[in-house]
């Protein structure tokens, strides 16, 4: 892996200035909502296991253990989330959801307690349909929440669930606004704080309504499912990056979970994936089995300077200011008045890229500080970024006038 030295040494020359402070005032509109959640950080098993047998209680407990020992908790990862295939095939005699006794013999409440003992939070999955997404087996699927919202939300609350990912399969074409509002209301009625992560794949333009009352979801998927390929990551990035104006503090666009560490992309591509998700203020949900993670992938996920861009309390999704010739420049205003900047080369060849201070939205200044968030180095310059980017690589900076 070549996280270091992938750029031509000594070629970085940057410039920024000051206008930092004035330009960001618009984003401060969100400032009132001090307790609004930042983009969710944590783990979800789906991208690494799908419905395979390795997804079980022992795995999820092992993941929680690793959150502590690998430093993920310290880096801000909080949620340990369980995806599809956790449920038993049938509801119980009272119509309540129950865990699959083979995969989760100890039950969901005990699992949640284990996660909570680690100082972490616990998330669960359901679908706003008659059954969940995993293909039916023996003509039956895992039961979904449609028409059972109140009972299921009460069950989740009784298990001390902190987060619900609510999918879109087998929805009988019932209006999406109604389906998601019914669950949002049911969750609120429990009086437990449950993060509502909508997963209807962008089919009903959720960015226009899901974050606002009456639904007020904390996040909504904007795209179909990611797969562990560069092409899939790139496609999803392009769909999500243009939706920046619809995200706000506490209400986030969700371009799906991370594939970092799953082996289908190079480390350079995973570094781009992680950086793009961070500058888009996306959920950072680790999608690899961290019990087996390789050091290079872990190093990407633990980059605290990049995580700080994602988690910035100003709560603004980065805006793409250039999309030309395979070069993308994305700028994210930060609460301290600095700006995060990502320069991404989607092409299959190395490129020399230049970005002016003006393009970043800054006035020319004599001197400004440019922090390289992957090299962890400082430079000062005159108002431009010049960088040599290998194929599929990204450079990421935080620029300030102090
Ligand atoms: C859908 C979702 C995925 C995952 C699967 C589970 O495809 O978009 O993220 O939850 O269902 O079956």
- Domain positions in the chain: 4-9+31-310, 319-401
- Give catalytic status of residue 167 as yes or no: yes
Ligand 1 atom nearest residue 257's Cα: 9
- 390 and 349 in contact (C-beta within 8 Å)? no
Residue 165's pLDDT is what? 98
Residue 31's pLDDT is what? 33
Structure tokens belonging to residue 308: 């700080």
182 lines ligand 1 (CB under 6 A): no
| Candidate from 133, 136, 145, 206 with most ligand 1 atoms within 8 A of CB, to mutate | 133
User: C-alpha 234: how far from its chain's center?
Assistant: 15
Ligand 1 centroid to residue 343 C-alpha, Å = 31
Ligand 1 centroid to residue 274 C-alpha, Å = 20
Residue 36's pLDDT is what? 85
| Candidate from 43, 55, 82, 84 with most ligand 1 atoms within 8 A of CB, to mutate | 84
Ligand 1 centroid to residue 169 C-alpha, Å = 9
User: C-alpha 192: how far from its chain's center?
Assistant: 23
164 lines ligand 1 (CB under 6 A): no
| Candidate from 52, 55, 83, 170 with most ligand 1 atoms within 8 A of CB, to mutate | 83
Ligand 1 centroid to residue 45 C-alpha, Å = 11
167 lines ligand 1 (CB under 6 A): yes
User: Block means of pLDDT (10 residues each) for the chain, length 402 residues?
Assistant: 34 28 28 69 98 96 98 98 96 97 97 98 98 80 96 98 98 97 98 98 98 98 98 99 98 99 98 99 98 98 98 98 98 95 98 94 79 96 87 96 76
Residue 336's pLDDT is what? 94
- 239 and 222 in contact (C-beta within 8 Å)? yes
Ligand 1 atom nearest residue 83's Cα: 10
269 lines ligand 1 (CB under 6 A): no
pLDDT in tens, 366-397: 688 999 999 999 999 866 899 999 999 999 99
Q: Where are the beta strands (DSSP E) in 247-336?
A: 252-254, 284-286, 319-324, 327-333
pLDDT in tens, 195-213: 999 999 999 999 999 999 9
- 168 and 201 in contact (C-beta within 8 Å)? yes
46 lines ligand 1 (CB under 6 A): yes
3-state secondary structure of 67: helix
Nearest CA residue ID for atom 9, ligand 1:
225
- Give catalytic status of residue 228 as yes or no: no
Q: Where are the beta strands (DSSP E) in 28-95?
A: 41-44, 79-81
The class (CATH top level) of 4-9+31-310 is: alpha beta
85 lines ligand 1 (CB under 6 A): no
CATH 1.10.3720.10 corresponds to the domain 319-401: no
Catalytic residue among 56, 162, 167, 267: 167
- 211 and 220 in contact (C-beta within 8 Å)? yes
Structure tokens belonging to residue 57: 């209680």
224 lines ligand 1 (CB under 6 A): no
Nearest CA residue ID for atom 6, ligand 1:
84
Residue 401's pLDDT is what? 83
């Amino acid at each position: 892996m070549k996280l270091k030295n992938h750029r031509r040494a000594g070629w970085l020359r940057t410039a920024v200035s000051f206008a930092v402070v004035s330009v960001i005032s618009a984003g401060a509109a969100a400032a009132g909502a001090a307790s609004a959640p930042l983009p969710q950080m944590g783990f979800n098993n789906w991208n690494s296991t799908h419905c395979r047998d390795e997804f079980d209680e022992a795995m999820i407990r092992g993941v929680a253990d690793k959150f502590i020992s690998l430093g993920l908790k310290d880096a801000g990862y909080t949620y340990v989330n369980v995806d599809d295939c956790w449920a038993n095939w049938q509801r119980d005699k009272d119509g309540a959801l129950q865990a699959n006794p083979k995969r989760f013999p100890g039950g969901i409440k005990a699992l949640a307690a284990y996660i909570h003992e680690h100082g972490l939070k616990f998330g669960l999955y359901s679908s706003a349909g008659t059954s969940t997404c995993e293909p039916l087996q023996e003509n039956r699927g895992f039961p979904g929440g449609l028409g059972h919202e109140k009972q299921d939300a009460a069950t989740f609350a009784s298990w001390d669930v902190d987060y619900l990912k609510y999918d879109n399969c087998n929805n009988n074409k019932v209006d999406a606004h109604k389906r998601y509002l019914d669950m949002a209301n049911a969750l609120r009625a429990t009086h437990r704080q449950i993060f509502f992560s909508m997963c209807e794949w962008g089919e009903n333009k959720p960015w226009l309504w899901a974050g606002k009352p009456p639904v007020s979801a904390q996040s909504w998927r904007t795209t179909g499912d990611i797969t562990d390929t560069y092409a899939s990551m790139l496609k999803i990035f392009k769909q999500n990056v243009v939706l920046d104006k619809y995200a706000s503090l506490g209400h986030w666009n969700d371009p799906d979970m991370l594939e970092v560490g799953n082996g289908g992309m190079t480390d350079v591509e995973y570094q781009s994936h992680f950086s793009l998700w961070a500058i888009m203020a996306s959920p950072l949900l680790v999608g690899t089995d961290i019990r087996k993670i390789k050091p290079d992938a872990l190093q990407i996920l633990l980059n605290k300077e990049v995580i700080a861009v994602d988690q910035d309390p100003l709560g603004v999704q980065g805006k793409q200011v250039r999309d030309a010739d395979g070069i993308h420049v994305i700028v994210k205003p930060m609460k301290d008045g600095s700006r995060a900047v990502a320069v991404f080369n989607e092409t299959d060849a190395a490129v020399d890229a230049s970005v002016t201070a003006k393009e970043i939205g800054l006035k020319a200044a004599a001197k400004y500080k440019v922090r390289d968030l992957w090299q962890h180095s400082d430079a000062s310059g005159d108002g431009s970024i010049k960088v040599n980017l290998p194929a599929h690589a990204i450079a990421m900076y935080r620029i300030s006038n102090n």
